[in-house]
Structure 1
Amino acid sequence: MTKIHRQRDIIDRRAVMARLTELAGSDLNKMKRRAGVLAVFKEALNLGRIEVRRRFDQHGDGTQTVRENCFLIDQLVRIVHDFAAGHELPQNIRTSGEAMSLVAVGGYGRGELSPQSDIDLLFLTPYKRTPWHEQVVEYVLYMLWDMGLKVGQSTRSADECIRMAKADLTIRTALLEMRWLWGDQDLYFDLKNRYVNEIIAGTGEEFVEAKLAERDARHANMGDTRYVLEPNVKEGKGGLRDLHTLYWLARYLYRVDGINDLVDQGIISKEACKRFAKAQAFLWTVRCHLHYVTERAEDRLTFDVQQEIASRMNYTDHAGSRGVERFMKHFFLVAKDVGDLTRLFCSLAEEQQKRKPRMRLGKLLFLKRSNVDGFVIDGDRLNVSAPDQFTKDPAAMIRLFHTSLEHGIDIHPHALDLVHRNLKHVGSLRKDKAANALFMSILTSKKNPEVALRHMNEAGVLSRFIPDFGRVVAQMQYDMYHVYTVDEHTIQAIGILHAIEQGVLVEEAPLSTQIIHKVSSRKALYMAVLLHDIAKGRGGDHSVLGADVAMKLGPRFGLTDEETETVAWLVREHLTMSRVAFKRDVDDPQTITDFVTKVQSPERLRLLLVLTVADIRAVGPNVWNGWKGGLLRELYQRSEELMLGGMAAARDHRVKAAQAAVSRELIASGWPQTDIDAHLARGYPTYWTSFDTRTHVHHARLVRDAEQRHAPLTVESRIDSFRSVTEINVYTSDHPGLFSQIAGAMAVSGANIVDAKIVTLANGMALDSFWIQESDGAAFDTPSKLAKLSTVIEQVLSGRMRLDKELAARKGKLPARAHVFKVPPRVIIDNKASSSHTLIEVNGRDRPGLLYDLTAAMTQLGLQIASAHISTYGERVVDVFYVKDIFGLKVQHERKLEQIRDGVLKALRDPADSEAAAAQ
């Protein structure tokens, strides 16, 4: 227990009691006296908290702070109880049946209390509660509640506690940490002894299994990874609750009062104990900062508080990394350390509890152990054959993970502990051909390499074996797009690559599943996925720097010169395919020509597609969707067609082929030839090459129906569940600003536009297609929302709804943490990417109504928008517009281009930023 220095500076119990006694003896009426008593308590609590906070701000030690907070509450509870029993509800003679003990349970019983944590109290009574018990409990609780404290409480006898502890794991765990606080000590010790004899005795195995199952369920609920970028300090994997689990098992199994006692019993090493204390101190400090910054019981380390806490903990910016990134990297490394400790101890505890009496026959048991690749099977787990195995044969550390993966055998915690102790020998393996070959066998295994690589990473082997990978371990990507640290993202990407190869993702990624088996070099593909982000955080283009790393590592791992060059190219270009698919118009021949020029071969095209899919899916749970898959598939097919000579045919051939296909479908549907000819005449050549036959037929029916009804506006939706998108077709009279108005209407309706094609037909009508989603990437398919969208579009186009007013009401609807990220606004104008259009690429921070603002600005600049490609990466938006001037030509004049850049940049800037700057 941490010693509390200068206790009376936190709370002077005698002084407080003296003031209360004075109030009790006054002639105030009952209500005024209670108000005065409450004021004294509130003042004592407030002054105590101020002093504890002052000390924390001075020394920054969370371990000390949680003890001091606990001391403050201990004293207040005791004073409230004594005042109630001595002045408010006095009894001259108290029978033994009216004895009562106040017991702290849960985290409060452990003597640890964060600034905003709940207080768990047990009012322990003899076998029967009396009216006096009830009056005292009521007085104490109401006084604590009125002070503003959050109190969880129960009033029970020892019999009730034992009975409920047998039936409820939560109550059993809470009582495991019971601490006498005040009152009758005999009642407390009686319960404590009965708990040991009636609850703990003989139930160790049951408790271990239950707590480990509880831990696993909690991890699953929190995402089952310690590397999420907004981690939960308490409940997350590698957080305080995992340390608590270790503490509970230690107390339950070994009857110890603290982790230090496990060292004396030889259960864990001194070094492990120090790591436990260091990790706990760091996590307590972070949690105290979190509670003080948010002024509530917040345990999630969200983006909007990370910078503040990093600053308070003195993490400063260094070359190549920001202070907040260094702080979060430290957090993830501590979480990893917690994982190592709890995994080791929990496995040992689980194993010990499952031992049978026959296992005492050590020699006989040893003879029954089988040998697998130089290791032994110990209790169904892979263990070392000798304590010095890794010292004599360092390569055995790599072989341990290889054997575990290939034979599907878990690794014994003792073996993992020995690995950790021998990490200094891993460096010698970098030039060992056999060790490097073993690693390549792991990476390209037909079994799931993700499992072995994660174990190697958590054991610290991967970062020692590949120091470049070690640089990205716990490396956060500070934005709202990426969900995991770089190392976790990479390992998950390898698991996804394996799943694609095994056919597990055939519904989500059908093309990748098909072509991965046509890839010539599996080794190059798996190595490229491992290395694609390896140079992040180095202060340059990580793709270019990563290619250099690949050129260095390829020969080491036995790759041929050709394979090494392929890996380096894939790493350098791993973002190219997604950039082109999501930000360029694949119907523009120049887009495909430029992309194919860079890719050059069908083999590279196949490799790049599979790498891109694995990379995107590993960014986060909801990042990949059918829409993105469809865009990548379209780019792949167009590129493959050009490589194989299919696109070399004249464009008018494609136009005629499209028209012929539509004609056949419409004839089969019973259309007269005159109607078919009329419809074919409406579309310009670019229209016929921009959509597939199914869509052309759908448009034909929509247009004919609208023309027959003389409808001034038609709004129609098609839900595409496979691509997680809803297509909205708008057919109406064309006019300047139409795109902008529709974009505004969709923003008002809460729809996110992910792509758009703007078509003006020969009859002067606009046939505009928008593909929209919900904010979470799902299809915008709720009937009520679609109905509202149609109504809003009609109201906007008819002038009955003012977009500026409606959008202003939605301006502040971004998450608070989104404002943490500063995305510099940027406008890039490109006249080389298309032979027929000028491209305007816009980068900036997303906000409601942004697309409307941008397109309205372009309309005012006299631009015609032909297509728009919308990509959102967390808080950052990247929009690309294909535009022409009022004469239908590319914009070439430098002065006009500068005017466009300035106008779009003005629309891009967030009004909130401008207001904040003006206020300063």
Structure 2
Amino acid sequence: MTSTNVTKEAEDSGPSGYAAARLRLLTEGTRSGPPRRTALADLTDDWLTGLFTAGADGARGVSLVAVGGYGRAELSPRSDLDLLLLHDGSDPRAVAALADRLWYPVWDLGLALDHSVRTPAEARRTAGEDLKVHLGLLDARHLAGDLGLTTSLRTAVLADWRNQAPKRLPALQELCAERAERQGELQYLLEPDLKEARGGLRDATALRAVAASWLADAPREGLAEARRRLLDVRDALHLTTGRATDRLALQEQDQVAAELGLLDADTLLRQVYEAARVIAYAGDVTWREVGRVLRSRAVRPRLRGLLGGGKPAAERSPLAEGVVEQDGEVVLARTARPERDPVLPLRAAAAAAQAGLPLSPHAVRRMATTARPLSTPWPAEAREQLVTLLGSGRPTVQVWEALEAEGLVTGLLPDWDRVRCRPQRNAVHLWTVDRHLIETAVRASEFTRRVHRPDLLLVAALLHDIGKGWPGDHSVAGEIIARDVAARIGFDHHDVTVIAALVRHHLLLVETATRRDLDDPATLRAVAEAVGSQGTLELLHALTEADALATGPAAWSSWRASLVADLVKRVSAVLNGADPAGPEQAAPTAHQERLALEAVATGAPVLSLRAQPEPPAETHGEPLDEPEPLGVELLIAVPDQPGVLAAVAGVLAVHRLTVRTAELRALDLPAGVDGSVLLLDWRVAAEYGSLPQAARLRADLVRALDGSLDIAGRLAERDAAYPRRRGVVAPPPRVTVAPAASRHATVIEVRAQDAPGLLFRIGRALEDAGVQVRSAHASTLGANAVDAFYVTDPQGTPLPGEEATAVARKLEEMLRG
């Protein structure tokens, strides 16, 4: 059915006809995107015009006006209808009756309506008092009635906007900044608000308003396409959910992707991020231009008075060869020739970052279209300028974004295209892959004074996750790419090898420190062999911290910092020739030994719950902001017996205590003391409310160990009472055996979605498998539990390969079930 026929059906059948025609239009598979939005607006226009004509009965001095999104004809399936009934004030009673004949049919169909009834003077006065109203009126579109009334209002509102621009635009910028602070950046959010987040549809509308002021204009390249893409996604979101929502929730992304004909949810998010990045960058450039124009307007009258008239020329200060600063931006010198100077883009970018100034978009566009490509390998100056750019700290981010906006980054580093705007479906990560790489370089720039080769650190930071654009282990893929990139950049063979090793092993230190027994000589030997030299270890330590800090708050803490520092110290000793086969465990503290002796004397568990966290550890002289690790310290000494891990984990789950970190190990007792004690050093936090009393925890632990407390039953009852959130699908758990991780035990690694009772279930499954837990190292990273268990057979020896694989398989099956 054509749009003309749909409109005719709506006119002939009244509200019911409009509803049927609207439904048919929204379910047509052949029409989507701008054509459907236009058709929906036309259909609605005709219906409302019919209602107006029937209700007005020839009245003069009144018109129906679409404003806001409807005024722009951007009607998504569940969009509000923004309407203004404009009148000249001559017959208020007739206008009120007409309003009822318009609004009630809209409400009867269940459509959302944002309406107002005003005279032109009232509309202008309200716009002057409310910035959002003024923005809506900028898109006013005549629907029915007195065209002259609508036209005069549009003309007046636009004139008011241009006359008041010096006051209105700063207020609009502040409004955009407040919204960004509240909603976050669309280009990095896993569940973004397509309208309200920074780089979303509201920002695109704000750029239209700036252009309407004639004070400044946004970069046009790609802006219309970015806006169209976000509108298309919102249309699909409305259709798949049946709701008027702008939030792209995780559980709805696959359906939205399918509605748009995209491969998967990641492809969808990447397109959303790319669109948001275009709008956000255009906003940065536009607001900078607005500020420049307003400053020049404020200064110009004073200069004219001093200089006797004339327009003052902007001063140009040299920053580097071919690069100058002008009016708060970095631009090209008049003598610069990008077509003859292939290093110029990197030189300009480095100069801008060093000066803390933005790159002029005009300069970037000129270099992108005229600059010659760099030779392979790069000349030394190009490599030095890249290192300078990466080492400039926080200003690097805006400069890199300017280079990316015009395609210069992928021209310099073709492998960058695979990670550009790539989402990371992990709540721990704040950024997309590409922004995380830049954030890591920014963090690494803070550590350049503590390493001997800061250039290698910065380039490794830029490349450490470059393999995430390829299938398989991103560290393995990244090593290959980093080797190629480093050679292309111009590093020699030795430096290329170091950069490749840093990328390959960038997770080695933190994973080993948090998931391995550092008292096991095999652990230290394995790390020393992988690292190879003191210089690489020094760089890897700095890269580890920079990477974690750039990931997000959950990825780094004083606890992790101290574990990594301890590992680095031990591995350094091994690299210097020390024998790693020293004492198998650190001596217990006085507090731990007191608890252990009491447990031996009483034959029962003894625990200590310290409500105050320890002071934050220092990381290379700089204390971390938060008291870490999260939670409070729980120390438990238990006479060695089967089922301790499951019992303790189960009791904590029953008491609604979340396990942040967990360490379990056998404790050596002083000479002359008989018995064996297990020490559990855990960090826990209450899910809500206050912590339980230590006496209650101990009493329940005693009952759990003697079998009189049915932990499994208690947890099952609670799970039944609180079902899982619908629509959330976690990745499946994975259980693996770490090869050659220890000479004394078999190491089983568990990665799973964190949940109440998870550690209890794992402990009980290991007990059912007939293995002994020699030590455990559990940690929670965001929504993920990453745990390692050192297990042996009942005789205390590592499990044979097939038996270890069978235990891991059974454990994984249990977790999947």
**TM-score interval, normalised by the smaller of the two chains:** 0.7 to 0.9
CA contact (8 A) 2:523 2:741 kept: yes
Deviation at 1:182, TM superposition (A): 3.3
| Residue of structure 1 in register with 2:170 after alignment | 209
In the alignment, structure 1 residue 738 sits paired with structure 2 residue 709: no
Distance in 1, Cα, partners of 2:232 & 2:335: 37
In the alignment, structure 1 residue 50 sits paired with structure 2 residue 23: yes
Q: Go from structure 1 to structure 2 and tell me whether the alpha carbon gap of 1:389 and 1:209 turns closer, same or farther (over 3 Å shift).
A: farther
| Residue of structure 1 in register with 2:735 after alignment | 826
| Residue of structure 2 in register with 1:724 after alignment | 630
Deviation at 1:169, TM superposition (A): 1.6
Structure 2 SS opposite 1:182: strand
Structure 1, residues 260-304: CA drift from partner, whole Å, max 9, x if none?
xx9xxxx789xx46x333222222211111121222233233333
In the alignment, structure 1 residue 336 sits paired with structure 2 residue 242: no
Structure 1, residues 848-871: CA drift from partner, whole Å, max 9, x if none?
433222211111122222322224
Structure 2 SS opposite 1:102: strand
CA contact (8 A) 1:823 1:876 kept: no
Structure 2 SS opposite 1:112: coil
Deviation at 1:130, TM superposition (A): 3.9
Deviation at 1:556, TM superposition (A): 4.2
TM-score normalised by structure 2 residue count: 0.86
In the alignment, structure 1 residue 747 sits paired with structure 2 residue 656: no
CA contact (8 A) 1:165 1:172 kept: yes
Distance in 1, Cα, partners of 2:777 & 2:815: 16
Distance in 2, Cα, partners of 1:250 & 1:466: 35
Distance in 1, Cα, partners of 2:339 & 2:582: 69
Structure 1 SS opposite 2:468: coil
Q: Go from structure 1 to structure 2 and tell me whether the alpha carbon gap of 1:621 and 1:106 turns closer, same or farther (over 3 Å shift).
A: farther
In the alignment, structure 1 residue 418 sits paired with structure 2 residue 366: yes
In the alignment, structure 1 residue 14 sits paired with structure 2 residue 11: yes
CA contact (8 A) 2:330 2:360 kept: yes
Q: Go from structure 1 to structure 2 and tell me whether the alpha carbon gap of 1:591 and 1:227 turns closer, same or farther (over 3 Å shift).
A: same
Structure 1, residues 155-201: CA drift from partner, whole Å, max 9, x if none?
3333332222222221221221222233444443343233234x224
In the alignment, structure 1 residue 532 sits paired with structure 2 residue 532: no
1:84-163 paired onto structure 2 within 5 Å = 100-127=62-89, 130-138=92-100, 140-163=102-125
Structure 1, residues 299-358: CA drift from partner, whole Å, max 9, x if none?
233333333333333334xxxxxx444443333333333344444455445544554467
| Residue of structure 2 in register with 1:166 after alignment | 128
Distance in 2, Cα, partners of 1:51 & 1:107: 22
| Residue of structure 1 in register with 2:414 after alignment | 467
Distance in 2, Cα, partners of 1:162 & 1:790: 71
Distance in 1, Cα, partners of 2:390 & 2:574: 34
Q: Go from structure 1 to structure 2 and tell me whether the alpha carbon gap of 1:251 and 1:352 turns closer, same or farther (over 3 Å shift).
A: same
Structure 2 SS opposite 1:299: coil
| Residue of structure 2 in register with 1:253 after alignment | 214
Considering only aligned residues, what root-mean-square deviation do their CA atoms show, in Å? 3.7
Deviation at 1:644, TM superposition (A): 4.8
In the alignment, structure 1 residue 565 sits paired with structure 2 residue 497: yes
1:864-903 paired onto structure 2 within 5 Å = 864-872=772-780, 877-887=785-795, 889-893=796-800, 896-897=803-804, 899-903=806-810
Deviation at 1:380, TM superposition (A): 2.7
Structure 1 SS opposite 2:115: strand
1:740-779 paired onto structure 2 within 5 Å = 740-748=646-654, 749-759=656-666, 767-773=678-684
Q: Please tell me the residue identity of whatever aligns with 1:58.
A: T
Distance in 1, Cα, partners of 2:415 & 2:594: 58
Q: Please tell me the residue identity of whatever aligns with 1:698.
A: H
Q: Go from structure 1 to structure 2 and tell me whether the alpha carbon gap of 1:772 and 1:723 turns closer, same or farther (over 3 Å shift).
A: closer
Bigger mean CA deviation after superposition, 370-379 or 611-620 = 370-379
Deviation at 1:401, TM superposition (A): 1.4
CA contact (8 A) 2:338 2:367 kept: yes
Deviation at 1:526, TM superposition (A): 0.9
In the alignment, structure 1 residue 856 sits paired with structure 2 residue 764: yes
1:466-485 paired onto structure 2 within 5 Å = 466-485=413-432
Structure 1, residues 656-690: CA drift from partner, whole Å, max 9, x if none?
xxxxxxxxxxxxxxxxxxxxxxxxxxxxxx6xx34
Structure 1 SS opposite 2:248: coil
Q: Go from structure 1 to structure 2 and tell me whether the alpha carbon gap of 1:879 and 1:77 turns closer, same or farther (over 3 Å shift).
A: same
In structure 2, which of residues 489, 495, 512 is the aligned counterpart of residue 580 of structure 1?
A: 512
1:479-878 paired onto structure 2 within 5 Å = 479-498=426-445, 500-501=446-447, 517-644=449-576, 651=583, 689-690=585-586, 696-702=589-595, 714=607, 716-718=609-611, 719-720=613-614, 721-732=627-638, 735-748=641-654, 749-759=656-666, 767-773=678-684, 783-784=690-691, 796=704, 799-807=708-716, 809-810=718-719, 816=726, 818-819=728-729, 822-823=731-732, 825-828=734-737, 830=739, 832-872=740-780, 877-878=785-786
Deviation at 1:124, TM superposition (A): 3.0
Distance in 1, Cα, partners of 2:483 & 2:646: 48
Structure 1, residues 703-740: CA drift from partner, whole Å, max 9, x if none?
56778999766463453433224222234555422311
In the alignment, structure 1 residue 239 sits paired with structure 2 residue 183: no
Distance in 2, Cα, partners of 1:537 & 1:866: 39
Bigger mean CA deviation after superposition, 843-852 or 199-208 = 843-852
Structure 2 SS opposite 1:799: coil
| Residue of structure 2 in register with 1:24 after alignment | none
Q: Show structure 2 runs of 5+ residues with no match.
A: 615-626
Q: Show structure 1 runs of 5+ residues with no match.
A: 18-40, 87-92, 255-261, 317-322, 502-515, 652-685, 912-920
CA contact (8 A) 1:105 1:122 kept: yes
Bigger mean CA deviation after superposition, 331-340 or 457-466 = 331-340
CA contact (8 A) 1:818 1:875 kept: no
Distance in 1, Cα, partners of 2:196 & 2:465: 29
Deviation at 1:494, TM superposition (A): 0.8
CA contact (8 A) 2:650 2:711 kept: no
CA contact (8 A) 2:419 2:469 kept: yes
Bigger mean CA deviation after superposition, 890-899 or 278-287 = 890-899
Distance in 2, Cα, partners of 1:384 & 1:376: 6
Bigger mean CA deviation after superposition, 413-422 or 384-393 = 384-393
Distance in 1, Cα, partners of 2:9 & 2:441: 60
Q: Go from structure 1 to structure 2 and tell me whether the alpha carbon gap of 1:11 and 1:626 turns closer, same or farther (over 3 Å shift).
A: farther
Aligned residue pair count: 789
Deviation at 1:758, TM superposition (A): 4.1
Structure 2 SS opposite 1:783: coil
| Residue of structure 2 in register with 1:175 after alignment | 137
In structure 2, which of residues 36, 46, 56 is the aligned counterpart of residue 65 of structure 1?
A: 36
Distance in 1, Cα, partners of 2:76 & 2:443: 40
Distance in 1, Cα, partners of 2:692 & 2:359: 52
CA contact (8 A) 1:115 1:288 kept: yes
Structure 1, residues 398-418: CA drift from partner, whole Å, max 9, x if none?
222122122333333332343
CA contact (8 A) 1:344 1:414 kept: no
Bigger mean CA deviation after superposition, 364-373 or 740-749 = 364-373
Q: Go from structure 1 to structure 2 and tell me whether the alpha carbon gap of 1:824 and 1:907 turns closer, same or farther (over 3 Å shift).
A: closer
Deviation at 1:596, TM superposition (A): 2.3
Structure 1, residues 509-567: CA drift from partner, whole Å, max 9, x if none?
xxxxxxx6342111111111111122222224332333333333334444343322221
Q: Please tell me the residue identity of whatever aligns with 2:811.
A: V
Q: Go from structure 1 to structure 2 and tell me whether the alpha carbon gap of 1:178 and 1:737 turns closer, same or farther (over 3 Å shift).
A: same
